[in-house]
Amino acid sequence: MGRHGAHWTLFIATRLVGVAVDSVLMGAAYVAAVALRFDFREPQWGWRATALSFVTVWAVQLFALIATGCYKLPWRRTGALEMPRYAGAFALSALALAALRWYMPELTLAHVRPPYSITLISTVLAFCAVLGVRIVWRFYSQARSNEKKLLRRREKIAGGEDVLEMLRGKTVLVTGAGGSIGSEIVRQTARSGAARVVMVERGENALYEIDREMRAAGSNAPCVPEMVDITDADRMKRVLERWKPQIVLHAAAYKHVPMVESNPLDGLRNNAVATRRLGEWSRDAGVERFVMISTDKAVNPISVMGMTKRLAEVLLLELNSPDAKGCVFSCVRFGNVLGSSGSVVPLFREQIARKGPLTVTHPDMKRYFMSVEEAVALVLEAAAMGSRGSQKGGCIYTLDMGEPVRIVDLAEDMIRQAGYKPYVDIPIVFTGIRPGEKLFEELNVSEKSVYRTGHARIFVCRDPGRAEGVDAEEVARFASGCPGDDEVRAFLKARVGAQ
């Protein structure tokens, strides 16, 4: 049986279970109505006729629920907006039963139609029971539903004395502080003993939101908003000189593969050249530790975004030289952050809200996922490794992200969490792989590819990837001109692209 057939089978089975549960509830409501009407004594027409009359009530109420489309509504989506539909179904059934009583008034026909009083009481009780069970199920499902369950593994939050020791009493500068990763870095550093957190972000709204959040949280560490573009040399130098951070956590980047693929020169300038320049300015300002947030797309990159991030790694690590003035430069690679802005999870959420379809590029597309809390905690652990034993930083760290998740499985899980049935209530369509995309991202943590560290989920890359003929000044001169898109792609591929 194919995937679609299996989902239709499950859909039918759940609806049959729903009918069975409703039948029990309607039966209990009818028994309670008879008991209340006759003070818990046997009706004058006897229990047998009462049982037969319930068959009529059950059939009429069930038909009304089906006719009004109540069985098309998943229980997990039942709320105030759906209440009028259920009320209409039971009102319709009450009118039908009252009509039966009107046209068949004889007591001898009591086995096929209930009295008006029984109809009214049982209708109210059945409506409350049927709707109530659905609402209870909705709240239960919402309590169990958690976006982090989409990881299909247990989330592991790191953190320890090494991070606290690294941050204690330090001024930390975070670039891209308004983004999904940057804002979480701000939160975790502020509560882990930093003396001050300088939030660098060029987007006004994003900076406003994280600044407002940190003020409302009453953080022990002052959080300073600086609305600055990292490519603005004068402004960035002034910020570094003013606040004199000891640690820079660099999360600012263009990260969306299709956007950078369409705008390669901007990706090169922002992701690679600006990172190198920021590293130089930080070194000259007396920064002790500089950590760049990288990506699994920098491993054997074929996309422009991946190549610009790989080039940024190369250009940054070159600064680990004898004249680095005591600053240690390192990079941390990991995969997708669950629910980050512009990622597939918010996209699917929007598509589910519109009742689909959900768009997946390929049935076999897989990606690594982490929660933002988990990823940032591990980034801070990796950043702290420069002070651990023989780990002196100046390398590329790779995080163990578990097993990759198929995007189509993620789509199906999100549809179910929303209370719908995949391919039944909401379709999933395959749109084809976009330029620069891979079916599988590479984040190998086998012993052939990485060295172990003192942390079970953090590794050091043995072979970080190609870096042929990379000269920082040449890259800067090239980016300062106006090369065409194809020229930029060829320039990147010749130096760091996958072969």
Query: Could you give the CA distance from residue 494 to residue 103 in angstroms, rounded to a whole number?
Result: 88
The CB density around residue 101, as the number of other CB atoms within 10 Å, is 17
Q: How many angstroms separate the CA atoms of 416 and 412, rounded?
A: 6
- Per-residue HEC secondary structure of 314-374 comes to HHHHCCCCCCCCCCEEEEEECCEECCCCCCHHHHHHHHHHCCCCEEECCCCCEECEECHHH
Alpha helices in 176-256 (DSSP H): 180-190, 204-217, 233-243
Phi then psi dihedrals of residue 182, to 5 deg? -60, -40
Rounded to the nearest 10 degrees, the angle between the axes of helix 204-217 and helix 180-190 is 30
Q: Give dist(CA 466, CA 497) in Å, integer.
A: 7
Amino acid identity for residue 352 in this structure: I
Q: Is 297 a catalytic residue?
A: yes
Q: How many helices (H) and strands (E) does the chain have?
A: 17, 15
453, amino acid identity = T
Where are the strands (E) in 78-221, listed by range?
171-175, 196-200
Q: How far is CA 256 from CA 302, 308, 339, 389, 437, in A?
A: 14, 12, 14, 37, 11
Catalytic residue among 255, 297, 309, 438: 297
Question: Which tokens go with 275?
Answer: 């990172």
Catalytic residue annotation: 297
